[in-house]
Amino acid sequence: MRHGKKFNHLGRKAAHRKAMLANMACSLIEHKKIKTTLAKAKALRLYVEPLITKSKNDTTHSRRTVFSYLKQKEAITELFGDVASKVAERPGGYTRILKLSNRLGDNAQMAFIELVDYNETYTTDKPKKKKARRSGGSKTTETAVVTETVVAEEVATENVTTEVVEVEEKTEEVVETAEVVEETVAEVTEEKDTTEVVEVEERTEEVVETAEVVEETVAEITEEKDTTEEIKEEESNDSSDAEKAE
């Protein structure tokens, strides 16, 4: 007779059931979330939660007791390390079961079983929304709006003043650079003018020298021409005198 035996045998013998639950518990500790049937998830919750409670007391005796159930060193290390530190302040209820749709093959009810402290969807501390009261709420909202507008105006004026100061500084820098450029251009033009004047003077001197040389050569040529003409006239006169004498 099975008087007082209310746990689910899951259609298996005792050894098969214990081995299956041990493997599922190790998978849950390793992956923090597994998918199985709803009946197995409920049986696993009764199997693994006492072991998690045992892991809070990290002693050799506790480790040996839990190892007699799980039979895996990696799972023991993970359970007494990361998992134990996560659930240290939780007084129970370490797992959560989330129901899913039925399985296609045998229409079995499926479910997720997970460790509560590793689901960020439920563990994140979200700020609570304050409920607005109707009575007297208009004044507070009006004051809040006024303060917001004043702060916004102050921020806008500060931004404008900072922008004006930046623009003035940039204009001063531009003016200074323009003055420097003008000075450099004036110096360059002065140097250029002086060089041009010197070149013109040199060229004029060269032209004058060449003109003098040309005048001298012209004078020499004219003198030579005059002498040749005189010689020719004398010769012609001599020849005419000789003819007359004959």
Query: For 24, left (φ over 0), alpha (ψ -120 to 50), or beta?
Result: alpha
pLDDT at 8 over 80: yes
pLDDT at 22 over 70: yes
Angle of helix 38-55 versus helix 60-70 axis, rounded to 10: 160
Residues 46, 69 contacting (CB under 8 angstroms) = no
Spatial distance between the Cα atoms of 14 and 20, rounded to a whole number of angstroms: 10
> Exposure string (b/e) for 186-224, b if CB count within 10 Å is 16 or more?
eeeeeeeeeeeeeeeeeeeeeeeeeeeeeeeeeeeeeee
> Counting beta carbons within 10 angstroms of the beta carbon of residue 158, is it exposed (0 to 12), middle (13 to 18) or buried (19 or more)?
exposed
Tokens of 50: 């006492």
Q: What is the pLDDT of residues 151-205, one digit of tens each?
A: 777 777 777 677 777 777 777 777 777 777 777 777 777 776 666 667 767 777 7
Residue 147 lies in a domain: no
CA 239 to mean position of chain CA atoms: 117
pLDDT at 101 over 90: yes
Residue 180 lies in a domain: no
pLDDT at 137 over 80: no
pTM above 0.95, yes or no: no
Task: Return the residue matching tokens 């930046």.
Answer: 166
Give the confidence band of 134 by pLDDT, cuts at 50, 70, 90: low
Residue 7 lies in a domain: no
CATH of the domain at 92: 3.90.1030.10
Name, in order, each residue with C-beta under 8 angstroms of 53's C-beta and a sequence gap of 6 or more: 92, 94
Residue 187 lies in a domain: no
What is the DSSP code string of 60-121?
HHHHHHHHHHH--HHHHHHIIIIIHHHTTT--S--EEEEEEEEPTTT-PEEEEEEEGGG-HH
Q: What is the mean pLDDT of residues 221-236?
A: 74
Q: What is the mean pLDDT of residues 49-54?
A: 96
Residue 205 lies in a domain: no
Give the confidence band of 243 by pLDDT, cuts at 50, 70, 90: low
Residue 57 has a pLDDT of 94
Residue 204 lies in a domain: no
pLDDT at 24 over 80: yes
What's the whole-number average pLDDT of the chain? 83
Question: Number of structural domains, the chain?
Answer: 1
The mean-pLDDT minimum among 67-71, 85-89, 142-146 falls in 142-146
Spatial distance between the Cα atoms of 208 and 2, rounded to a whole number of angstroms: 143
CB-CB neighbours of 95 under 10 Å:
17
Residue 65 lies in a domain: yes
Residues 35, 112 contacting (CB under 8 angstroms) = yes
Domain limits for position 69? 14-123
Residue 103 lies in a domain: yes
